[in-house]
Amino acid sequence: MSATRYEVPGWIGTVLVPTINICLAFLVSGLIIVVIGEDPWQALDLLISGAFGSQEAVGYTLYYTTNLIFTGLAVAVAFHAGLFNIGAEGQAYIGGLGVALVCLAGDANLPTFIIIPLCMVAAALFGAAWAFLPGYLQATRGSHIVITTIMFNFIASAVMVYLLVNVLIKPGQMAPETRTFAEVAWVPFLHEVLAPVGIKLARSPLNLSLALALLCCVVVWAFVWRTRWGYAIRTVGQNETAAVYAGINPKRCIVLAMTISGGLAGLVAMNEILGVQHRLLIDFVAGYGFTGIAVALMGRNHPFGIVLAALLFGALYQGGAELAFEIPTITRDMVVVIQGLVILFCGALEFMVKPRVESMYRWAHRTGTGS
Amino acid sequence: MKKTFLVAFLSCWISSVVIAADSEPAVVYDMGGKFDKSFNEAAYMGAERFHKESGMQYRDFEPTNEAQRTQSMRRLAGRGANPIVAVGFGYAAAVEEVAKEYPDTKFAIIDMVVDLPNVQSIVFKEHEGSFLVGALAAMASKTGKVGFVGGMDIPLIRRFACGYEQGVKHINADAEIFQNMTGSTPAAWNDPGKGAELAKSQFDRGADVVYAAAGGTGIGVYQAAKDDGKLAIGVDSNQNHIHPGTMLTSMVKGVDVAVYNAFKAGAEGKWVSGVQVLGLAEDGVGWALDEHNSSLVSDDMKAKIESLREQIIAGSITVHDYMADSTCTY
Amino acid sequence: MTPSDRRVDGLRNAIDPPAVELININKRFGSVQANRNVSLSIAPATIHGIVGENGAGKSTLMSILFGFYQANSGEIRVNGKTTRIRTTEEAIRAGIGMVHQHFMLVDSFTVLENVVLGAESGRLLKESLSTARQTLDLLESKYGLEVNVDTLVGDLPVGLQQRVEILKALYREAQILILDEPTGVLTPQESEQLFNILLGLRDRGVTVILITHKLREIMAITDTVTVMRGGEVVAHRTTSQTSEPELAELMVGRKVLLRVEKGISQPGSVVLDVREVETIDQRGVKRLHNVSFNVRSGEIVGIAGVSGNGQSELLEVLAGIRTVTAGRISLNGKPLIDQFNPRDAGQVRGLGVGHVPEDRLRMGLVRSFEAMESSILGIHSDRRFNAMVFMKLDAVLENCRHKMEAFDVRPRNPHLVTVNFSGGNQQKLVLAREMDEKPGLLLVGQPTRGVDIGAIEFIHKEIVAMRDAGRAVLLVSVELEEIMSLADRILVMFDGHIVGEVTASHASEQELGLMMANAATPASAIRS
């Protein structure tokens, strides 16, 4: 009996349905573009070529993807423990503080191969610490993680503005930013890395942090599905009573999952601060932490799915910017609407299409094999 | 039929691209967006004025994250846009980077100094303008208590606050000044609800004039003043028209003029690089008096402010600049 | 015209159309055919039983009749008239009432308020309450269903709560009453009272449909019976012309052993010793009072009691899940847990205690895990399954295959997600996991709850085999029959106390039932 219940193959749910959902989102976006009096095909063309049409475009897309992989993984790891970490935004922000402190203190006398790993550790540690507190409060006091992480985003923001305006600011400067770090601490751009070996790439913010992000995907996958700690975290997330029954300490798992989650979010600073901006500045996270939630949901909390979803959103960021750039009547807010529609169709309305597609598949299958 | 239409459309489109490549000016706004009813909108107004007067097209862009600042400027420079005006101090690093890559393109940056041969830096003495509206606030206040609502707590806004404070104290040394910042995220520039709340709390403490230097957040401050029958002071653009009768004045910052002048100079080949510091003397900042607030400003007040203005220009009054030493001691 | 108008009390009129007639009902959920061409006919003023294993389609069928689901095809006739039942409101309008397995009552409302809830007449609640009070008085006296209408439902014992459910249905003028597994939560005495009520209802013209898997109840009170298997009707019988073994065979499709075959126990040394144990829950309520007993190797000690009298808490205390607030527990003569030396479930398991929890999906398994993952729950940190960092998935897979083979878990697919196994196979997976560790003490809670008859037989044999291998078994079950047939010694719990102990061979259902209701101290009881 249960064998027949699962006749619909996996690719329907993981490939076909998301594709249909994205197409539907684009369809509705297209209608809106028609309403404001623009050509939807041109818009689509600009969106796609803007994201993938040139080396520079791909570079930007992958640069956004890098940020979103970090925050998507962060949200996913917490999610496996049944926790909804809304605080990746703040954790990434504080991760930037860690990087900045290491750089400000050490970029004058430390060599690259020491300072960059040191920054990495600092970014992860600072982000982890910022997630540890809500995790600890959830575990011991039952303070709801959604509420505390949201509040911690605001606290992070306030702390960072205070520090940047009063403490870390380069003296005599208008913008609340630190000084630019010495070049030893920069994560090299991809176009710079590949230039000596004869591969010439257009310049873009894409840097070696992408490799770190992909490495994190592998590590997260192995941790969640291939270690006993990942097993324990998943058990807590799926069924806390069963976890207690199995001798797993849910409190410890919650704190562990949040700490790892925050560490991953903190690594956004590697891409943004050390990779691109080379200085700590106000609000450098710019919403990647929140988009990471959508990335994790769309990616089904699996690293492979997260890479794909991050690529989709990276493309929407970059292609959307090109769209706003090329067609003045399509404002940046319109681009946000398109992103919102993708989230709506792929997330909230997923179950609108799925059952229909599945029953269509079954029908096609039956009539195909039945005759 | 359809085909000819398509061809016609495409040729139109392509031709517009061709024109676009022909050194049209461009402006890139700050994160707040071009319709923030304040700073960025002033830049937009300047660009629109140039467009209407000269008939020349221009390009603009609103970034959503830091990376897009450099990206958009580089794209514009690559397309041959000239001059390119960057609105806001956040563009400093981007202008520095892109101006080096495109030495033949002219750049202008507002609110920040970038020292490159092809960059014109336009900075304003907001403290001078704020001093004047502070003085006017002190004169208009019956309670001797006035308020200030800032956007995000950054040095620029402290410069506004510090000038304002000096102006108030100059008229009434015993005056009390309440200062509040709206928040610590960029949302602070566009949170009218919170602006209204802060203004109301200042009114509750006795303030009867409030000055908002908070971008779109100011809209809420002005509304609250109108609702409570208090006075408000606008910022950046002349905002007197928003609520005639309760808008005491506006501290006008000539961002529109700066953008207009930059576009015009570029088009007429009269571009000059270097730093332009625009204060009261240069009419870069000032206070707004028009039909919407004339009933609120008596002739005495007007005369007093004008005399203060002249004293500042003449140098007999120096308004302390917060940015000079990151403190507000005067 | 309602059936009762046409009838002389207690008489069956053969000319009357059937109260309920279902014709060729089909219902599929996705690709699962839950009901296939089900037809049945129930004469008015009779008690009709529907029996079948879990998943046989009984509940689906009754949900269709009560308007929860709509059939894909087929016809429903009520009192001879074709009736469309698309919602529960339409079912109620057609005179059908249902008493669910889990009561649909608001604990903080009075009986009266609960009865009126959703059936208020008029705009003001006060008016409907006063008319309802009169109607209820009438109903109570007519059917012998006395309940104080002003008591809060939460304060009523389970048996009376069920009565409120019945009153609710009658208040809505139900002439056809469906009861879904009504005795699951009752003591034998309460069940007896329920049956008397049902007989009374029948005699006053109400048609009763009883869904159950307990054949004894079918034999005791039904007039006719329908047996379902795999979504289809396999037989209709007149109760007086059938027998328990025949029904069991029809349900399962093969001959079934109803009694557990086991030899005399050979108790050895004391394995588990519980002394004056108490526990207090989060709300500060004491759940166990001064509980003392022991379990020896080679014996099965059964704990009988109505659900909710401390058995669950006792199991959780022994397994290290719940903390002990007084007393001490020792294992093989060594201290295991006391108030000052708590041990968590992992540590207790490490010392050789297996635990088959009462509710497998709530505690014993993780729904979304693959079978192989669920099969190492609790022993996942064991060296067999772990290298330094990574888990040895090959070993986990091999272990799961072995367990599935040994306990005949079907389908034998270690990658199938846990929740997609049937209840019986899920239970076998838990048992396999806990028994395969060869624990010195096995704690078993409700081993056959929601399990098919075929699997029950298998599970019972395995538990007896554990005993015969010289292990100590503590069995908690609300099925008195199960306790009586498996256990060597029986302890009875009431309100957190152990109120009696009897040797299984001397126990009678009557005596145990009275102890469960704390109405008698048995002559044979040895207070521990």
**What SS3 state is found at C68?**
coil
Work out the minimum CA distance from A351 to partner chain C, whole angstroms.
Answer: 15
Query: Which residue of chain B comes nearest to A285, CA vs CA?
Result: B65
pLDDT one-digit tens code per residue, B25-67 = 999 999 878 887 788 989 999 999 999 999 999 999 999 888 9
Work out the minimum CA distance from B302 to partner chain A, whole angstroms.
Answer: 32
Does C420 sit within 8 Å of A244, measured CB to CB?
Answer: no
Percent of chain C with pLDDT over 70: 93
pLDDT one-digit tens code per residue, C161-190 = 888 999 999 898 899 999 988 887 777 788
pLDDT one-digit tens code per residue, C100-147 = 877 889 989 999 989 888 877 767 777 778 888 888 888 888 887 888
Residue A64 has pLDDT above 60, yes or no: yes
Nearby residues of C116 by Cβ (< 8 Å), 6 or more positions away: C125, C128, C129, C132, C171
Work out the minimum CA distance from A325 to partner chain B, whole angstroms.
Answer: 6
Strand C232-238, strand C270-280: pairing: unpaired
Query: Which residue of chain A comes nearest to C345, CA vs CA?
Result: A247
Handedness of CA B108, B113, B119, B120 (dihedral sign): positive
Tell me the pLDDT band of A357, cut-offs 50, 70 and 90: confident
Residue C390 has pLDDT above 50, yes or no: yes
Work out the minimum CA distance from B159 to partner chain A, whole angstroms.
Answer: 10
Work out the minimum CA distance from A207 to partner chain C, whole angstroms.
Answer: 31
Average pLDDT score, chain B: 89
pLDDT of residue A366: 67
Residue C384 has pLDDT above 50, yes or no: yes
Would an 8 Å CB–CB cutoff place A161 in contact with chain B? yes
Average pLDDT score, chain C: 87
Measured between beta carbons, which residues in chain A are less than 8 angstroms from residue C346?
246-248
In the block, tokens 């398994």 appear at C365
Work out the minimum CA distance from A292 to partner chain C, whole angstroms.
Answer: 24
Please enumerate residues of B whose Cβ is less than 8 A from a Cβ of A.
31, 33, 59-68, 70-72, 75, 89-90, 92-93, 111-112, 152-156, 183-186, 323, 326
**What mean pLDDT comes out for the span C253-262?**
70
Please tell me which of the candidates A173, A276, A332 has its beta carbon nearest to residue B67: A276
Is the distance from CB of A95 to CB of A267 less than 8 angstroms? Answer: yes
Would an 8 Å CB–CB cutoff place A362 in contact with chain B? no
Residue C13 has pLDDT above 80, yes or no: no
Would an 8 Å CB–CB cutoff place C412 in contact with chain A? no
Domain ranges, ordered by start, for chain B: 2-124+256-278, 126-253+298-325
Tokens standing for A201?
Answer: 């790439």
Is the distance from CB of A12 to CB of A314 less than 8 angstroms? Answer: no
Instruction: Show the domains of chain C with their CATH numbers.
Output: 98-172 (no CATH), 270-363+432-516 (3.40.50.300)
pLDDT of residue B10: 40
pLDDT of residue C256: 63
Average pLDDT score, chain A: 91
Of the two residues A336 and A129, the one the predictor is more confident about is: A129
pLDDT one-digit tens code per residue, B281-313 = 998 999 999 999 999 999 999 999 999 999 999
pLDDT of residue A5: 41
Domain ranges, ordered by start, for chain A: 56-326
pLDDT one-digit tens code per residue, C86-102 = 888 899 999 999 998 77
- The CA-based angle C337-C339-C340, given to 5 degrees, is 90
Separation between Cα atoms, residue A169 and residue B138, nearest integer Å: 33
Does C368 sit within 8 Å of A5, measured CB to CB?
Answer: no
pTM value surpassing 0.80: yes
Work out the minimum CA distance from B230 to partner chain A, whole angstroms.
Answer: 30
In this complex, whether C and B touch, counting 3 or more CB pairs under 8 angstroms, is no
Separation between Cα atoms, residue C391 and residue C209, nearest integer Å: 52
HEC profile for chain B? CHHHHHHHHHHHHHHHHHHHHCCCCEEECCCCCCCCCCHHHHHHHHHHHHHHHHCCCCEEECCCCHHHHHHHHHHHHHCCCCCEEEECHHHHHHHHHHHHHCCCCCEEEECCCCCCCCEEEEEECHHHHHHHHHHHHHHHCCCCEEEEEEEECCHHHHHHHHHHHHHHHHHCCCCEEEEEEEECCHHHHHCHHHHHHHHHHHHHCCCCEEEEECHHHHHHHHHHHHHHCCEEEEEECCCHHHCCCCEEEEEEECHHHHHHHHHHHHHHCCCCCEEEEECCCCCCEEECCCCCCCCCCCHHHHHHHHHHHHHHHHCCCCCCCHHHHCCCCC
**Listed residue (C12, C53, C56) closest to C33, CA to CA:** C56
Does A331 sit within 8 Å of B62, measured CB to CB?
Answer: yes
**What mean pLDDT comes out for the span C191-201?**
90
**What mean pLDDT comes out for the span B209-225?**
93
Of the two residues B190 and C330, the one the predictor is more confident about is: C330
* CB atoms near residue B10 (< 10 Å): 11
Nearby residues of B236 by Cβ (< 8 Å), 6 or more positions away: B38, B39, B41, B42, B215, B250, B251, B252, B253, B255
What CATH code is assigned to B2-124+256-278?
3.40.50.2300
pLDDT of residue B12: 40
Measured between beta carbons, which residues in chain C are less than 8 angstroms from residue A232?
380
Q: Cis bond leading into C411, ω under 30°?
A: yes
**What SS3 state is found at C399?**
helix
Query: Which residue of chain B comes nearest to A63, CA vs CA?
Result: B67
Of the two residues C308 and C31, the one the predictor is more confident about is: C308
| Range in A119-128, B234-243, C210-219 the model is least confident about | C210-219
pLDDT one-digit tens code per residue, A89-114 = 999 999 999 999 999 999 999 999 99
Measured between beta carbons, which residues in chain B are less than 8 angstroms from residue A328?
59-60
Tell me the pLDDT band of C454, cut-offs 50, 70 and 90: confident
Percent of chain C with pLDDT over 90: 51
Query: Which residue of chain A comes nearest to B321, CA vs CA?
Result: A172
Residue B231 has pLDDT above 80, yes or no: yes
Would an 8 Å CB–CB cutoff place C319 in contact with chain A? yes
**What mean pLDDT comes out for the span A260-288?**
95
Measured between beta carbons, which residues in chain A are less than 8 angstroms from residue C354?
none
Residue C9 has pLDDT above 50, yes or no: no
Q: For testing the chain B interface, which of A325, A335, A336, A338 should be mutated: the one with the most B CBs within 10 Å?
A: A325
Query: Which residue of chain B comes nearest to A278, CA vs CA?
Result: B93
Fold of B126-253+298-325: Rossmann fold (3.40.50)
N- to C-terminal Cα distance for chain A? 22
| Range in A214-223, B133-142, C258-267 the model is least confident about | C258-267
Residue C348 has pLDDT above 70, yes or no: yes
Residue C527 has pLDDT above 50, yes or no: no
Q: For testing the chain A interface, which of B66, B89, B98, B277 should be mutated: the one with the most A CBs within 10 Å?
A: B66
* CB atoms near residue C86 (< 10 Å): 10
Measured between beta carbons, which residues in chain B are less than 8 angstroms from residue A337?
none
Measured between beta carbons, which residues in chain B are less than 8 angstroms from residue A156?
none
Separation between Cα atoms, residue C458 and residue C428, nearest integer Å: 9
| Range in A31-45, C100-114, C333-347 the model is least confident about | C100-114
Is the distance from CB of C358 to CB of A258 less than 8 angstroms? Answer: no
Tell me the pLDDT band of C333, cut-offs 50, 70 and 90: very high
pLDDT of residue C2: 43
pLDDT of residue B5: 44
Is the distance from CB of C458 to CB of C427 less than 8 angstroms? Answer: no
pLDDT of residue A237: 96
Of the two residues A122 and B40, the one the predictor is more confident about is: A122
Chains that touch C (3 or more CB pairs under 8 A): A
| Range in A47-51, B1-5, C485-489 the model is least confident about | B1-5
pLDDT one-digit tens code per residue, A135-178 = 999 999 999 999 999 999 999 999 999 999 889 988 877 788 99
pLDDT of residue B52: 95
Tell me the pLDDT band of B18, cut-offs 50, 70 and 90: very low
Separation between Cα atoms, residue C486 and residue C445, nearest integer Å: 13
Work out the minimum CA distance from A194 to partner chain B, whole angstroms.
Answer: 20
Chains that touch A (3 or more CB pairs under 8 A): B, C
**What mean pLDDT comes out for the span C452-473?**
90
Buried b (16+ CB within 10 A) or exposed e, A333-354: ebbebbbebbbbbbeeebeebb
Domains B2-124+256-278 and B126-253+298-325 are alike in CATH topology: yes
Measured between beta carbons, which residues in chain C are less than 8 angstroms from residue A245?
319, 321, 345, 355, 357, 363-364, 377-378
pLDDT of residue C4: 43
Measured between beta carbons, which residues in chain C are less than 8 angstroms from residue A238?
366-369
Separation between Cα atoms, residue B283 and residue B277, nearest integer Å: 10
Work out the minimum CA distance from A160 to partner chain B, whole angstroms.
Answer: 8
Separation between Cα atoms, residue A286 and residue A271, nearest integer Å: 13
